[in-house]
Structure 1
Amino acid sequence: MLLSFALIFLVGITLGRIFEVIKLPKLIGMLLTGVLLGPYVWNLIDPTVLEISTDLRQIALIIILTRAGLNLNIDDLKKVGRPAILMCFVPATLEIIGMMLLAPRFLGVTLLEAAVMGTVVAAVSPAVIVPKMLVLMEEGYGTKKSIPQMVLAGASVDDVYVIVLFTAFVELLKGGTIQARDFLAIPSAIIFGIIGGVIVGLELIYLFKRVSMRDTTKVAVILSVSFILVALEQALNGIMGFSGLLAIMALGVTIHQNNVDTAQRLSNKFSKLWVGAEVFLFVLVGATVNISYAFKAGTAAILLILAVLIFRTVGVFISLIGTNLNKKERVFTAFSYMPKATVQAAIGGLPLAMGLASGELILTVAVVAIMVTAPLGAILVDSTYKKFLKQE
């Protein structure tokens, strides 16, 4: 296991740096590291590491979402208002509709299989988006119009929405039924997630005021509480909707709203943690990619992914109707909503594991979505934000 960790870090950092030198996002090098070291190419990662890779990726995601919450000013988000809410649902919904219209023609699947495929593909990747939006906020690009803040908030809720729909459609595909309460899990997961995060955030603020501790200790406490929130989501599954990841962001926002100085210091600590967590996250996501599936799907799957991205882009433009964003800013927002990675890696293989007839094809499309959109979205964001957004 130790050798695997060494390879993940050394090769991941090296390839990431090489891609940076040639003016490409370093996450592409990290994803490539995972593909090469993973079980489908060189098979150099210990199976024990792969068994716990979901938990390791979850930890990395918790770190970056906590950092996002600590940097997110809710007052900036209020300025955006309606578009921020629409960004949570409209782009993903149109992408799912696009998949239902096109997948039967491209891949010969049924309408219900296409719906499941759409929910697998539709989730934007917080792991790709959040770090990039934080860079924009730190450098002051687009912050006057709250563009990175809007994308941060939308991406976090987008995942909750899509995963609940995925669960419902898979149940139908298995021959079950969908009840109204299945869809009620969407608003309840969002509402209870935010409320839970705010309550925990207030309790932590009280604790930090009453008990003297170093910032490093505060980071350990916040991480531990965040792990509990994610575990709580799993424990409440089937009982009530609760988004642990959304609660983590709300926790960070609450700390920021009550003590900006503390939030900034803690954010700097989480930035240092992210240096290592980022490598783990993207290398392990890459390790889930079976490129033989991608080659099997071929051109049809790639064209399908690019086609449904058009539907998603239309959804972004619809969400931004009536805003003061200019044409370049709207295009940039659409670019930032393209990347897929973490959710696809997490749920793409579930239909196959459940024994569904279309499981392998759904996994193939999920893999192609990662390979096409993660590099494409990252490249477009990195290459356009200084040209399309105003720096404050």
Structure 2
Amino acid sequence: MAVSIALIILLGLGADYLLRRVKLPGLVGMLLVGVLAGPYVLDLINPEMMNVSGDFRKIALIVILLRAGFELRRDTMHRVGKAAVTMSMVPALFEIAAVTWVGPMLLPIARIEAAILGTILAAVSPAVVVPLMIDFMDRGRGTGKGIPTLLLGASAIDDVFVIVLFTIALGMAGGGEVHVWTQLAKIPLSIGLGILLGVIPGFFLLWLFRRYDWRPPKRTLVVMGTAILLTWIEGAVERWVPAASLLGVMAIGFIILEKSESIAHIISQKLKKLWVFAELLLFVLVGAQVNIQVAWKAGLAGMAVILAGLFFRSIGTYVSLCGTPLNWKERAFCVVAYLPKATVQAAIGAIPLAAGVAGGEVILAVAVLSIILTAPLGAIGIMVMGERVLDHGARSSYRFKDLREKQGLARVGERVRDKGSSAVWKVIEEREIWEPAYEEPGGPGNAGDLPAIVLRFWQEQSGGKPGTGKTLTKTYTAQGPAFGDEWEILYDW
């Protein structure tokens, strides 16, 4: 298994580099590596690795959803909340209806089997959508109207909604008694309990990090361990109550960001570095699940069903955005961003066949084909359209985020040691300002404003209160001296 991990890292990184060189998303290269190295083509990945592939993919998905949670701001969620709820249901219903209608005409399956296929195809892939949206947010693209946040929230709820509909359709195909309204009631219950499942540990972790000044990697590992436990809790209680644990994972980040932006950004920076490895695992192993031979059986008829579903899904997405401040180009971008299929289809595509559904083999073939068609094309479409359509946010607050990362600045509440005098200070205030860029005499002019962060330090003294006694204020910019040249951040553990 160790050799398989080495192959995933080396081949995945190589494919990522080559695809980025030609201005395409690196995840497309990782998916292709997974398909080729997987058990259905070259069989380079050890069977033991494939046996635990589901756990690795879940952990990788948790990493990216945690990052998403640490980017969800309350004010942006308020602006896009209604549209996100609509987008989480309407496009999926349009796609399910289209596949249910067209499926029996083109494929050897009954109407109820086509409905099952529709529910499988209707789930958007958070593994593809979320990383690309976070990349746009990191660069301040589309943040003026909250478009990346809209797609993050909608895609998370979309999966919960679709999986409940899949359960209903599968139950009806099995001939058992299905209480449709009871199943539908599970959707808001699952969403509510999932969020609650994340809010409670979110507040506890926040208290823990405020009380004990741990190093950022240890804080990040504690958050990761807690998030993984949430998914275990979902499986443990699913016999009695449904709980969307992946929404809970995002809720942890949202709570910490809402109550302590400084702590949230420290953890988010470490998750960003952890994602480099997690991304390789996720997309290479998703690609390894794709059976080319099974997909081939779906043929042109399967492709036609997928395209019909995507056409109606696109209509549903556009309709969902009516009444929003988005222009037609931004709505078209959302349509494209809502097309990729990958993780859900790989996870549940084979369930109907295992359950003895008559058309199970056809359903699996079309599900696999949908991954091959939509994951790479959707990712490319998102990146190309996003660069052309989303606003640049010239004075975006995300430029301050880049400055913090490059300078390695301490956060409010953290203790630092002066490398010159060895005196211990505490950061008690932080402000973001814009300063005119420095220009050489006789320069071209119009250099524009640059982000700057002002930190106020208080020298710790016994019996003193922060802000009383000796304080020090310093301003940091990309052009100025590095924070680490003068200060060392102190941690308890």
Q: Percent identity?
A: 46
1:357 Cα offset (Å):
2.0
2:34 paired with 1:34: yes
1:145 Cα offset (Å):
0.6
2:263 equivalent in structure 1: 262
1:138-217 residue pairs with structure 2 within 5 A?
A: 138-179=138-179, 180-217=181-218
Answer with 1 or 2: which has the greater Rg.
2
The structure richer in helix per residue is: 1
1:302 equivalent in structure 2: 303
Task: Give the TM-score taking structure 2 as reference length.
Answer: 0.78
Deviations 1:289-330, CA, capped at 9 Å, x for gaps: 110111111111112111111111111111111111101000
1:220 equivalent in structure 2: 221
1:277 maps to amino acid: A
- Aligned mates of 1:362, 1:13 — CA distance in 2: 33
- Aligned to 2:391, the other structure's residue is in SS state coil
- Aligned mates of 2:239, 2:363 — CA distance in 1: 24
Higher relative contact order by CA 8 Å / sep ≥ 6: 1 or 2? Answer: 1
1:152 maps to amino acid: L
- Aligned mates of 2:262, 2:373 — CA distance in 1: 40
- Aligned mates of 1:386, 1:32 — CA distance in 2: 23
1:214 Cα offset (Å):
1.0
- Aligned to 1:71, the other structure's residue is in SS state coil
- Aligned mates of 2:260, 2:88 — CA distance in 1: 27
2:435 equivalent in structure 1: none
2:16 paired with 1:16: yes
1:251 maps to amino acid: I
Deviations 1:18-65, CA, capped at 9 Å, x for gaps: 122222221121111111111111111111111110000000000000
2:390 maps to amino acid: L
- Aligned mates of 1:298, 1:43 — CA distance in 2: 24
2:282 equivalent in structure 1: 281
1:146 Cα offset (Å):
0.6
1:333 maps to amino acid: C
2:14 paired with 1:6: no
The structure richer in strand per residue is: 2
2:54 paired with 1:54: yes
- Aligned mates of 2:98, 2:239 — CA distance in 1: 29
2:173 maps to amino acid: L
2:368 equivalent in structure 1: 367
2:242 maps to amino acid: G
1:240 Cα offset (Å):
0.8
2:71 paired with 1:71: yes
- Aligned mates of 1:33, 1:262 — CA distance in 2: 36
Task: Give the TM-score taking structure 1 as reference length.
Answer: 0.98
Deviations 1:91-112, CA, capped at 9 Å, x for gaps: 1111111111111112131111
- Aligned mates of 1:284, 1:352 — CA distance in 2: 21
- Aligned to 1:7, the other structure's residue is in SS state helix
- Aligned mates of 2:317, 2:239 — CA distance in 1: 31
What's the C-alpha RMSD, in Å, of the aligned pairs? 1.1
Deviations 1:308-367, CA, capped at 9 Å, x for gaps: 111111111111111111010000011111111011111111112223221111111111
1:87 Cα offset (Å):
1.0
Q: Structure 1: which 5+ residue stretches go unaligned?
A: none
- Aligned to 1:323, the other structure's residue is in SS state coil
- Aligned mates of 1:336, 1:237 — CA distance in 2: 31
- Aligned mates of 2:370, 2:177 — CA distance in 1: 28
Deviations 1:154-209, CA, capped at 9 Å, x for gaps: 00010111111111211111221211322211110001111221121111101111
Deviations 1:189-237, CA, capped at 9 Å, x for gaps: 0011112211211111011111221111111111111111101111111
1:81 Cα offset (Å):
3.3
1:377 equivalent in structure 2: 378
Name the stretch that deviates more: 11-20 or 92-101. 11-20
